[in-house]
Amino acid sequence: MHDFTIASARAALRAKKVSAQELTEAHLDAIAALNPRLNALITVMPETARAQAAAADAALARGEAHALSGIPLAIKDLFCTGGVRTTAASRILEPFVPPYESTVTANLLRAGAVFLGKANLDEFAMGSSNMTSAFGPVTNPWTRRGDNRALVPGGSSGGSAAAVAARLALGATGTDTGGSIRQPASFCGIVGIKPTYGRCSRWGIVAFASSLDQAGPFARTVEDCAILLGAMAGHDPKDSTSADVPVPDFAAACTRGVKGLRIGVPREYRSDGMAPEIEALWQQGIAWLREQGAEIIDVSLPHTKYALATYYIVAPAEASSNLARYDGVRFGLRKDGEDLDQLYENTRAAGFGAEVRRRIMIGTYVLSAGYYDAYYLRAQKVRALILRDFTEAFRHCDALLTPTAPSAAFGQGEKMDDPVTMYLNDVFTVPANMAGIPGLSVPAGLDAQGLPLGLQVLGKPFDEETVFAVGAAIERAAAFNVLPAIRAGA
Amino acid sequence: MTYTIEGTTGAWEVVIGLEVHAQVISNAKLFSGAATAFGAPPNTQVSFVDAAFPGMLPVINRECVAQAVRTGLGLNAHINLVSRFDRKNYFYADLPAGYQISQYQHPIVGAGSIEIELADGSTKDIGVTRLHLEQDAGKSLHDQHPTKSYIDLNRAGVALMEIVSEPDLRSPEEAGAYLRKLRTIMRYLGTCDGNMEEGSMRADVNVSVRKHGEAFRTRCEVKNVNSIRFVMQAIEAEAKRQVAVWEDGGTVEQETRLYDSARGVTRSMRSKEDAHDYRYFPDPDLLPLVLDEAWVAELGRSLPELPDAKRARFMREYGLPAYDAGVLVAEQTTADFYETVAKGRDAKLAANWVIGDLFAAFNRTGRGIEDSPVSAAALGGLLDLMADGTINGRIAKDVFEAMVETGADAATIVAQRGLRQVTDTGAIDAAVAQVLAANADKLAEYKAGKEKLFGFFVGQVMKAMAGKGNPALVNEALKKQLG
């Protein structure tokens, strides 16, 4: 049952070889068995899931199969789900039950999906390790060879990635502001794509940094990601930044192949400190694509080196404003005080964790009078240059290939002393958010300790099809079929 | 004559700039579909967007944009085809998102001007710096509970136009004239009802004083003044305060103040040091607001005739003096009323009746043009009875009062009360003869050369005829019999 992909489960459901209820029960059983160890889900929704599965079976019986009828998914707990608690992994939203359904999850439900539960994440999606969740860290289903110490799944969508990797769900939603889909996909040995900014509606997703946030799927194959994205995407008049462009058949693009495609390799991503294993994997990926008929081109993205620093100005600035609404007045946590200022201070001190507080302070600082020009305005100018780099590069190539992250998964508790060390995890993923372009991470191999490593494919705006085609080519060549430790013995 | 404040060191000039917050007339809020009716029960006109629930996003309401463009066009202002929304960040309990969406650097409307008319008949152009769109905040109610404040979010997210003037105003009178004119223009356009009591128009007043010929001195801002009268009082009070500070050897500090209308003074609200750092930045949830030039042109073509144009036309078409025309165009409903009365009639006479008798009736009855006790058609009917000689002007006044009292039309009242003018020369001759006979002494004086007694005789004849004599015929008959 747990060998299913979304594509194969869909075929089995339509052929009546398995029922949606059987599929859902199997996944609920897996959650019951493994979630206590992984902490991948904050909230499990067995009743909702069973009802949705029954409805899917009824629809399938009537011959009304939708794109995702009966497919059990995990939903990052940043997506508001009607009547189901939505926490953003923060104490401040611990009691919050939204009376509305986010556009992306509504799209998935309309496509027949079954929601198993709400996946853990870094608090307000701020983190690269899932260590900042108010509901405890997520444990990566993978461990180093001969070493049982718990590893992080990456972040911020670590619960989603861990759930899919551990076979607790066939797919999951994530959001990616600086790498929050791609880096955990890489750490957990699965596929994840951040589509073009504007491809998926942000309506109903708890905002972190509005100009960077973008929803996307996790799955165990490129094709599954394409199927999920097709159901999630689409123009939404309720999100002014959502793009009014047609949603193509992403799954069909997976079989296109890369013959004749020009693949750019940005020289600036080859940092001095790059781990030899990462470098080797990258070269392997280049070789795979060349073998399949792609032309490899050396390209330059000269402003890449400023991307991370710029990101850590823009994202906290927007976050400091977006999180002002958590004030204890209308919803969520409230800690009373003698006056309004005390209510704010008590509520926000009790409700926000250290990393969130840090980013609110950074963001407040860079927007302050006297600092705005030096930080925020300068960052916006650099951001425009980063976009120009990509636009220029894409005049010479169809997609770019880079590593997803500078390392494999690290241990829980590592890299916690200095926030900047943690921030460096996003060095390869952040530029795509700054430019708004699509990026996909696909597992390509294992490091010496047996941990998965991903390669990143970046594409032109609204050309996810080419990204899927390239990702699928790497997937075929890599033939990555290693199970995570938690499942290897099963 | 220039308005000045007399201090111990001589005359001080007052420099005033106004920031007017005008609530846009629209069915829905600026960025949400929630309704905007005034006076609804608390928190019944609030969407999840207005309450800033997690994941909610603003979407611009095109009608509010159109209203801002119409207002800009009405102020002869430059329309910026590309503008942008910024977030103005500050914490307050009635500001749900912790920021107000406003237009800081790139407003939808740029420079324009408003011509104001002053009591001495002169006019003055006042520069409008800009107009921008922004959200209103909710309302904090501090008097509902001994220790808690209540929040009403009905107003949160309602569209406001902030209209900023240049510091071109030099007296309370000019400030009052500016506010009245701005209100008139917006009412003509149907973009703001200008109702200051309900808070749909509020003013922040920037005041400074200086000696003649000096550069500007430090200004203070008097916040949220809610009537034109209070604006004028606040300016005078604040200007006098500043003069006293300067003349005592002190320095006026830039600060925000409030006007205490009960005591007639301004009080400090917060100093420059306590001023908020609003951390403005472009709202990443909204794209730049891009207007189609053809759409703006279409809005321009569909604007109604505005007060200045209407006043000029009234002077030209109806031969009215500037003052009368100005009074009549101050409210569009008054102007429409007047034009209905004047159409096909003596336009000057119509103006006199509207401005004189009708307005007096409003004052007496507490009613206004919208619920006028005498309709425009009825007033026109009264004028027709005068024009065709059915009644004279003297009787018309009585008929009008009866119309105000009873609501009946003029012809009915004239018929019922037998007020028809007497044009029968026999009856007039008889009345004249009777009056001359009864006043033999006056007649003798008249014949001896006291010709101004003619008016006395006219009055006596009219009295004898209960006012109904045709004045021209009475004059004629008198002249004949007096020889």
For residue B212, report the phi and psi dihedrals to the nearest 5 degrees.
-55, 130
Q: Across residues B345-354, what is the average pLDDT? A: 96
Arithmetic mean of pLDDT over chain B: 94
Terminal-residue alpha carbon distance, chain B:
55
- Give the number of domains in chain A: 1
Residues of B in CB contact (< 8 Å) with A are: 48, 51-60, 87, 89, 91-93, 96-99, 149, 151, 277, 279-281, 284-287
What are the tokens at A79? Answer: 């997506």
| CA B96, chain centre distance (Å) | 34
Edge-first strand order for the sheet with A72-76 is: A41-44, A114-119, A72-76, A171-175, A215-219, A191-194, A439-446, A452-459, A399-403, A262-266, A295-299
Q: Chain A residue closest to B60 (CA)? A: A240
Mutate to test the interface with B, among A103, A123, A322, A339 (most CBs of B within 10 A): A322
- Contacts for B240 with CB less than 8 Å, ≥ 6 apart: B5
Arithmetic mean of pLDDT over chain A: 96
Chain A residues with CB-CB distance to B141 below 8 A: none
A207 touches chain B (CB under 8 A): yes
For residue A125, the distance in angstroms to the closest alpha carbon of chain B comes to 13
* Residue at A304 is within a domain: no
What are the tokens at B68? Answer: 């801002």
For residue A237, the distance in angstroms to the closest alpha carbon of chain B comes to 8
Rounded Cα gap, residues A446 and A286, in angstroms: 16
Rounded Cα gap, residues A384 and A387, in angstroms: 5
* Residue at A340 is within a domain: no
- Domain encompassing residue A95: 6-263+395-488
* Residue at A236 is within a domain: yes
For residue B259, the distance in angstroms to the closest alpha carbon of chain A comes to 25
pLDDT of residue A414: 87
Buried b / exposed e over B156-166, threshold 16 CB at 10 Å, is: bbbbbbbbbbe
Strand-strand pairing, B139-141 and B265-271? unpaired
Which of these, B201, B194, B252, lies nearest to B225 by C-alpha position?
B201
pLDDT of residue A490: 45
B55/A202 Cβ within 8 A: yes
Q: Across residues A443-462, what is the average pLDDT? A: 97
Which of A180, A186, A242, A441 is flagged as catalytic? Answer: A180
Q: Is the peptide bond before A129 cis (omega within 30 degrees of 0)?
A: no
Question: At how many degrees (to 10) do helices A46-61 and A20-38 cross?
Answer: 160
For residue A123, the distance in angstroms to the closest alpha carbon of chain B comes to 14
Number of residues that make up chain A: 490
pLDDT at A1 over 80: no
Rounded Cα gap, residues A239 and A241, in angstroms: 5
pLDDT digits (tens, 9 = 90+) for B407-445: 999 999 988 888 888 888 888 888 888 898 898 898 888
Chain A residues with CB-CB distance to B98 below 8 A: 321, 324-325, 327
This prediction's pTM = 0.91
pLDDT at A47 over 80: yes
* Residue at A307 is within a domain: no
Rounded Cα gap, residues B204 and B131, in angstroms: 14
* Residue at A448 is within a domain: yes
Rounded Cα gap, residues A354 and A352, in angstroms: 7
CATH code (residue A214): 3.90.1300.10
Q: SS3 helix, strand, coil % of chain A, rounded to 5?
A: 45, 15, 45
Which of A90, A129, A133, A156 is flagged as catalytic? Answer: A156
Q: CA separation (Å) from A155 to A119, A136, B414?
A: 12, 13, 91
- The CA angle A210-A216-A222, to the nearest 5 degrees, is 155
Q: Across residues A168-197, what is the average pLDDT? A: 98
Rounded Cα gap, residues A17 and A35, in angstroms: 27
A371 touches chain B (CB under 8 A): no
Nearest CB to B57 within list A88, A203, A364: A203
Rounded Cα gap, residues B352 and B382, in angstroms: 13
Only one residue has tokens 């991948």, namely: A40
For residue A265, the distance in angstroms to the closest alpha carbon of chain B comes to 31
A-B contacts (CB, under 8 Å)? 100
A16 touches chain B (CB under 8 A): no
Cβ A110 vs Cβ A59: under 8 Å: no
Terminal-residue alpha carbon distance, chain A:
12
Cβ A301 vs Cβ A388: under 8 Å: no
Q: Report DSSP state, residue A324.
A: G
pLDDT at A334 over 90: yes
Rounded Cα gap, residues B26 and A447, in angstroms: 62
* Residue at A334 is within a domain: no
pLDDT of residue A294: 98
| CA A41, chain centre distance (Å) | 15
Rounded Cα gap, residues B188 and B308, in angstroms: 11
Q: Across residues A129-136, what is the average pLDDT? A: 97
Cβ A73 vs Cβ A173: under 8 Å: yes
For A131, counting Cβ atoms within 10 Å of its Cβ (0-12 exposed, 13-18 middle, 19+ buried), the class is: buried
pLDDT at B297 over 60: yes
Rounded Cα gap, residues B432 and B233, in angstroms: 59
pLDDT digits (tens, 9 = 90+) for A201-216: 999 999 999 999 999 9
What are the tokens at A96? Answer: 């919050």
Residue A244 CB coordination number (10 Å): 9
A325/B96 Cβ within 8 A: yes
For residue A443, the distance in angstroms to the closest alpha carbon of chain B comes to 31
- Contacts for A141 with CB less than 8 Å, ≥ 6 apart: A34, A38, A153, A162, A165, A166, A188, A484, A485, A486, A487
| CA B29, chain centre distance (Å) | 25
Number of residues that make up chain B: 483
Confidence of residue A3 (pLDDT cuts 50, 70, 90): confident
Nearest CB to A321 within list B55, B87, B93: B87
Percent of chain A with pLDDT over 90: 94
pLDDT of residue B466: 85
Cβ B23 vs Cβ B222: under 8 Å: no
Q: CA separation (Å) from B234 to A402, B258, B299?
A: 66, 9, 37
Long-range contacts of B308-316 (CB under 8 A, 24+ apart): B308/B115, B310/B335, B314/B338
Which of these, A171, A115, A161, lies nearest to A139 by C-alpha position?
A161
* Residue at A284 is within a domain: no
For residue A101, the distance in angstroms to the closest alpha carbon of chain B comes to 10
pLDDT digits (tens, 9 = 90+) for A13-40: 999 999 999 999 999 999 999 999 999 9
pLDDT of residue A302: 95
Most confident of A354-368, B270-284, B428-442: A354-368
Mutate to test the interface with B, among A240, A333, A336, A383 (most CBs of B within 10 A): A240
Domains by residue range for chain B, with CATH: 4-299 (no CATH), 307-417 (no CATH), 425-482 (1.10.10.410)
Chain B residues with CB-CB distance to A239 below 8 A: 57, 59
pLDDT of residue A350: 98
What are the tokens at A44? Answer: 């499990």
What are the tokens at A252? Answer: 């069909």
Q: Across residues B255-269, what is the average pLDDT? A: 94
Output A51 or B418, whichever has higher pLDDT: A51
Confidence of residue B449 (pLDDT cuts 50, 70, 90): confident
Nearest CB to A330 within list B51, B57, B277: B51
pLDDT digits (tens, 9 = 90+) for A265-279: 999 998 767 889 999
Q: Which of A23-27, A64-68, A449-453, B443-447 has the lowest mean pLDDT?
A: B443-447
Q: Report DSSP state, residue A205.
A: B
pLDDT digits (tens, 9 = 90+) for B165-211: 999 999 999 999 999 999 999 999 999 999 998 899 999 999 999 99
Chain A residues with CB-CB distance to B53 below 8 A: 98, 100, 325, 330-331
A241/B284 Cβ within 8 A: yes
Q: Across residues B144-153, what is the average pLDDT? A: 92
Chain A residues with CB-CB distance to B91 below 8 A: 324, 327, 344
Q: Across residues A38-66, what is the average pLDDT? A: 97
Rounded Cα gap, residues A229 and A6, in angstroms: 12
pLDDT at B390 over 80: yes
A365 touches chain B (CB under 8 A): no
Mutate to test the interface with A, among B100, B147, B281, B286 (most CBs of A within 10 A): B281
pLDDT digits (tens, 9 = 90+) for A376-403: 999 999 999 999 999 999 999 999 999 9
A80/B285 Cβ within 8 A: no
A 316-345 residues inside an 8 A Cβ radius of B = 317-318, 320-321, 324-325, 327, 329-331, 340, 344
pLDDT digits (tens, 9 = 90+) for A411-440: 998 888 888 878 888 999 999 999 999 999
pLDDT of residue B44: 94
Mutate to test the interface with B, among A202, A321, A339 (most CBs of B within 10 A): A321
A318/B97 Cβ within 8 A: no
Rounded Cα gap, residues A415 and A435, in angstroms: 27
Q: Report DSSP state, residue B36.
A: -
Percent of chain B with pLDDT over 70: 99
pLDDT of residue A489: 64
B123 - beta bridge partners?
Answer: B117
* Residue at A310 is within a domain: no
Listed in order, strand segments (DSSP E) in A120-227 are 171-175, 191-194, 215-219
What are the tokens at A94? Answer: 């611990």
Q: CA separation (Å) from A260 to A252, A290, A469, A470?
A: 18, 10, 12, 11
pLDDT at B3 over 60: yes
B54/A239 Cβ within 8 A: no
Only one residue has tokens 């991370």, namely: A308
- Contacts for B444 with CB less than 8 Å, ≥ 6 apart: none
For residue B43, report the phi and psi dihedrals to the nearest 5 degrees.
60, 30
Chain A residues with CB-CB distance to B281 below 8 A: 317-318, 321, 367, 372, 376
DSSP class per residue in A420-450: HHHHGGGTTTHHHHHHT--EEEEEEEE-TTS
Q: CA separation (Å) from A291 to A257, A296, A465?
A: 11, 10, 20
- Catalytic residue status for A76: yes
Rounded Cα gap, residues A374 and A362, in angstroms: 13
Q: Which of A28-42, B209-223, B276-290, B442-456 has the lowest mean pLDDT?
A: B442-456
